[in-house]
Amino acid sequence: MKVLLIGTMYPPYVFGGAEKAIATLSQALVRGGHEVVVLTLHPGASERMEERNGLRIYHLPLDNVYWPFAQQQRPGCWLRLAWHFHEMWNRKAAARVGRILDLEKPDVVHTHNIIGFSVSVWYEVKRRRIRLVHTLHDYYLLCPRTTLYRGGKSCESRCLGCRLLTANRRKASQCPDEVVSVSQFTLDRHRRAGLFDKAASRVSYNIQSTEHAAVQREATAATSDVLRFGFIGRIEPEKGVEILLEATRHLVTPEWRLKIAGHGTEAYTSRLRRKYTDERIDWLGFAPASEFYPQVDVVVIPSQWEEPLGYVCVESLHEGKPLICARVGGLPEIAQLSKVVAYFEPGKAEQLGLLMNHALDDQTRWKQTIAPGSTTLEQFSEQAVVGEYLSAYRPDGAGRGTGARSKKRWAS
């Protein structure tokens, strides 16, 4: 089968979990014998195509007023407004995608994040009567900022700006034949807003390899009296890193360390480092997951926005790390699978500090490294996730599973 995947970014450009998800899925499909084409954006001014790891990747320029990802300084209000107006219907992006669709002639188009492309690309797919599957990784269809987060808290209702700048996205949500969500919470949030009311739907988690996971490894090698807390992710307000830093001021014993891995804007990161100067806080900068997790005993996920899934939560689960997690969005769906987990209300630094103190008082328990059993982790496996998507790719929704049987059934 020929599958064309569309995602805002693709490695080496990685901004969050969605880019990891599309990359792992594309490689899994190639291993399953399918022909895979990826359409993605890059900050350059021209189109380029490359063959890499058995798939074809089209890198397209972003047809808008600026590149909005991982910026060190936030653009001005009027420039941001111009960007969002242009994003409502991006004719140039639609034309580029339409031309590649005519060239590649895929059996199915699978969109992930489409910020920068706009919903106009969905109409190009349906004009050609190609099956369309969309995966929900964020709230792009409901909020121009994609997060439903403003003024330091999650939005219980959508503001006028959100409604205006996403006015055409509810109608556009009729385009996908099937919608896949990375959590039940995220699917329900879209359904309540009236989106995808005619599309088939399912929940499927992202692929997470167990190759290096600490599956069923019951003791930790840590022998010191210090408990190492860790945060990994983007350094930005909605990720709640300042809540975690503030929580350290409520810790009553000195036997702790906090390791923070990730990037953010220079202004915001510098402000945090000036405000929280405790020498037990270790700012790692960017750190690969393979280097970060062995350095920590407990992973803290203090998100303030309603994260649809949270890649860190999935990684921590597979690494067998105890979790202290904000009870928000889709995070509890994954965190509850952990062997050792505690929850706090988002934004409550004192409550988080209390849980961290409990962990410090019971270090034997919180230094355990125990991943869930294979039955629990199976739902994140390549076979299970690819099987779900192959089922979604079929017009009748049948044909779950991978391997020789599916390859034969999908042969081009």
CATH number, position 202: 3.40.50.2000
282 and 356 fall within a common domain: yes
Beta strand pairing call for 298-301 and 227-232: parallel
180 and 288 fall within a common domain: no
Looking at residue 69, its pLDDT comes to 85
280 and 394 fall within a common domain: no
- Indicate whether 267 belongs to any domain: yes
- Indicate whether 372 belongs to any domain: no
Looking at residue 291, its pLDDT comes to 94
Q: Please report which helix (H) or strand (E) contains residue 101, including its range.
A: helix 91-104
- Indicate whether 256 belongs to any domain: yes
Looking at residue 210, its pLDDT comes to 58
- Indicate whether 104 belongs to any domain: yes
Count of residues in the chain: 412
Q: How high is the mean pLDDT in each 10-residue block of the chain (412 residues)? A: 96 83 95 97 94 96 90 83 94 97 98 96 98 96 89 80 91 97 95 93 86 44 80 93 98 97 91 96 94 96 92 92 96 93 96 98 94 88 94 73 33 31
Q: pTM of the entire structure?
A: 0.87
- Indicate whether 388 belongs to any domain: yes
Of all residues in the chain, what percent are helix, strand and coil, respectively (each to 5)? Answer: 35, 20, 45
Residue 327 makes CB contacts below 8 A (sequence gap 6+) with 343, 344, 345, 346
123 and 242 fall within a common domain: no
What backbone phi and psi angles, to 5 degrees, belong to 43? Answer: -80, 0
Beta bridge partners of 124: none
Q: Which domain holds residue 21?
A: 2-207+381-409
66 and 171 fall within a common domain: yes
36 and 108 fall within a common domain: yes
Q: Which two tokens stand for residue 304?
A: 């303030």
Longest dimension (CA), the chain: 64
Domain count, the chain: 2
346 and 387 fall within a common domain: no
Three-state DSSP class for 130?
Answer: coil
Q: What are the distances in angstroms from CA 43 to CA 52, 63, 70?
A: 19, 10, 11
Q: Which one-letter DSSP state was computed for residue 280?
A: T
Looking at residue 397, its pLDDT comes to 59
252 and 121 fall within a common domain: no
7 and 120 fall within a common domain: yes
Looking at residue 223, its pLDDT comes to 56
Residue 296 makes CB contacts below 8 A (sequence gap 6+) with 228, 229, 230, 259, 321
200 and 294 fall within a common domain: no
CB burial readout 317-348, b (16+ within 10 A) else e: bbbbbbbbbbebbbbbbbbebbbbbbbbebbb
- Indicate whether 293 belongs to any domain: yes
Residue 305 makes CB contacts below 8 A (sequence gap 6+) with 147, 148, 149, 154, 238, 239, 328, 329
- Indicate whether 376 belongs to any domain: no
Tell me the residue ranges of DSSP E strands in 217-274: 227-232, 256-261
CA distance 35 to 412: 9
CA distance 388 to 110: 13
- Indicate whether 212 belongs to any domain: no
Looking at residue 211, its pLDDT comes to 54
138 and 240 fall within a common domain: no
Looking at residue 198, its pLDDT comes to 87
Residue found under tokens 């798939």: 55
359 and 268 fall within a common domain: yes
